[in-house]
């Protein structure tokens, strides 16, 4: 799996697209849709879960919260709230109108809050637009989007375990917020002392071992208080991102493990789960013009909802904020349209989280989410290059 994924990923990257497209195509080829060489079994599920934790840990390492807060945090929050919230409500509405359960509706909406900044970053870097206000805004808003999605996911997983009414919803928000502040606050001082101790050993392996222990410890604590373990993994990364050893030791080695093994494997396994034949054979819904499989309607509806709401939300927010050229509104709106890792990670959580004996997301619904990631990853680079006249 890994070999085929890396080969196709590198091939697609040379064509100017995100490697995740090639990696997901590798999974489609190896999976039940075509060659049926890779089954989804318990071992694959465990490997996927481990990969998700490392991916979220690495994403956290890439975010220096203090640095982000020191920039135009108001503007970034406005953009995230406009784009993310609008996308959440529109995608949740589309899902609800097709008769899916409340939990499925909420999880689908949350999965589309965050944008794949990697795709916008790749195209803007290729074009050479890496010093402009567009580039800096896209990267910063991508970070605030990630934080927004993590908080929303934490609230959702807590809601699953406690239930919610108006009073308990407020208490639930305080619980999640308090846990995040506690981890970031106490974690920084404790981590600094332990990192200094590890540094005195002059052994990079001890530092990496401690970092991985912290990953699993905070993930466990997060799960124990009813918040998703991936939230804990992300927070563990943000704690270490502020360490003086992060840039030189921790991030490069975790990046090698994650980008070299877990990320391509995760996307290949995601591709294995995609089965267009199941989508086409799903229960039909009667529309005015024809009877169409419900998952086809879901795919088309969500794809349109995601791309339009992200574009409109970002365009309106940047217009409201001011300070951008007219052409910049269009470029930033397009850059915010692709979906990526967070959509798949949150969807994966839906696959393994059971309510009343059934997963929140079925396999065919997850296939729909994965296809949206795949299609948006192809369309957006083309649109962004066209916006720059390339």
Predicted TM-score (pTM) of the model is 0.86
% of the chain exceeding 90 in pLDDT: 39
Banded model confidence at residue 173, pLDDT cuts 50, 70, 90 = low
Q: What is the pLDDT of residue 310?
A: 95
Mean pLDDT score, 341-345: 90
Q: Out of 159-163, 169-173, 368-372, pick the least confident.
A: 169-173
Q: What is the pLDDT of residue 65?
A: 61
320's tokens: 């409201």
Q: What is the pLDDT of residue 165?
A: 57
Mean pLDDT score, 21-50: 90
- Give the residue with greater pLDDT, 360 vs 79: 360
Residue 59 has pLDDT above 60, yes or no: yes
Q: What is the 3-state secondary structure (H, E, C) of the chain?
A: CHHHHHHHHHHHHHCCCCHHHHHHHHHHHHCCCCCCCCCCCHHHHHHHHHHHHHHHHHHHHCCCHHHHHCCCHHHHHHHHHHHHHHHHHHHHHHHHHCCCCHHHHHHHHHHCCCCCHHHHHHHHHHHCCCCCHHHHHHHHHHHHHHHHHHHHHHHHHHHHHHCCCHHHHHHHHHHHHHHHHHHHHHHHHHHHHHHHHHHHCCCHHHHHHHHHHHHHHHHHHHHHCCCCHHHHHHHHHHHHHCCCCHHHHHHHHHHHHHHHHHHHHHHHHHHHHCCHHHHHCCCEEECCCCEEEHHHHHHHHHHHHHHHHHHHHHHHHHHHHCCCCHHHHHHHHHHCCCCCHHHHHHHHHHHHCEECCEECCCHHHHHHHHHHHHHHHHHHHHHHHHHCCC
Residue 221 has pLDDT above 80, yes or no: yes
Distance, CA of 199 to CA of 298 (rounded, Å): 52
Could you report the per-residue pLDDT of 62-111, keeping only the tens digit for each? 776 655 555 566 777 788 888 999 999 999 999 999 999 999 999 999 99
């Amino acid at each position: 799996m890994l070999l085929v994924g890396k080969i196709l990923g590198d091939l697609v990257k040379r064509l100017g697209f995100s490697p995740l497209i090639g990696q997901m195509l590798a999974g489609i080829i190896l999976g039940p849709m075509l060659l049926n060489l890779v089954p989804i079994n318990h071992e694959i599920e465990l490997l996927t879960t481990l990969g998700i934790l490392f991916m979220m840990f690495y994403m956290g390492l890439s975010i220096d919260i203090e640095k982000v807060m020191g920039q135009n945090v108001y503007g970034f929050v406005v953009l995230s709230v406009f784009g993310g919230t609008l996308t959440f409500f529109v995608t949740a509405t589309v899902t609800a109108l097709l008769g899916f359960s409340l939990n499925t509706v909420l999880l689908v909406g949350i999965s589309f809050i965050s944008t794949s900044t990697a795709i916008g970053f790749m195209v803007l870097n290729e074009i050479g637009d890496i010093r402009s206000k567009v580039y800096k805004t896209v990267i910063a808003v991508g970070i605030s989007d990630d934080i927004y999605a993590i908080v929303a996911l934490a609230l959702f997983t807590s809601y699953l375990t406690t239930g919610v009414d108006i009073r308990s919803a407020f208490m639930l928000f305080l619980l999640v917020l308090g846990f995040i502040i506690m981890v970031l606050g106490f974690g920084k001082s404790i981590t600094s002392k332990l990192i200094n101790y590890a540094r005195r050993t002059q052994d990079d392996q001890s530092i990496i071992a401690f970092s991985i222990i912290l990953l699993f410890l905070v993930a466990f604590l997060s799960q124990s208080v009813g918040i998703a373990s991936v939230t804990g993994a992300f927070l563990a990364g943000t704690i270490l991102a502020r360490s003086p050893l992060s840039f030189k030791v921790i991030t490069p080695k975790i990046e090698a493990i994650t980008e070299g093994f877990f990320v391509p494997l995760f996307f290949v396994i995601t591709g294995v789960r995609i089965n267009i034949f199941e989508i086409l054979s799903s229960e039909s819904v009667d529309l005015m013009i024809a009877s169409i499989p419900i998952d086809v309607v879901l795919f088309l509806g969500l794809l349109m909802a995601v791309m339009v709401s992200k574009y409109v939300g970002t365009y309106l927010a940047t217009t409201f904020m001011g300070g951008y050229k007219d052409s910049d509104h269009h470029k930033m709106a397009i850059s915010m349209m692709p979906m990526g890792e967070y959509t798949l990670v949150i969807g994966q959580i839906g696959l393994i989280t059971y309510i009343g004996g059934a997963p929140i997301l079925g396999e065919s619904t997850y296939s729909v989410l994965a296809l949206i990631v795949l299609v948006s990853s192809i369309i957006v680079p083309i649109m962004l290059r066209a916006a720059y006249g390339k």
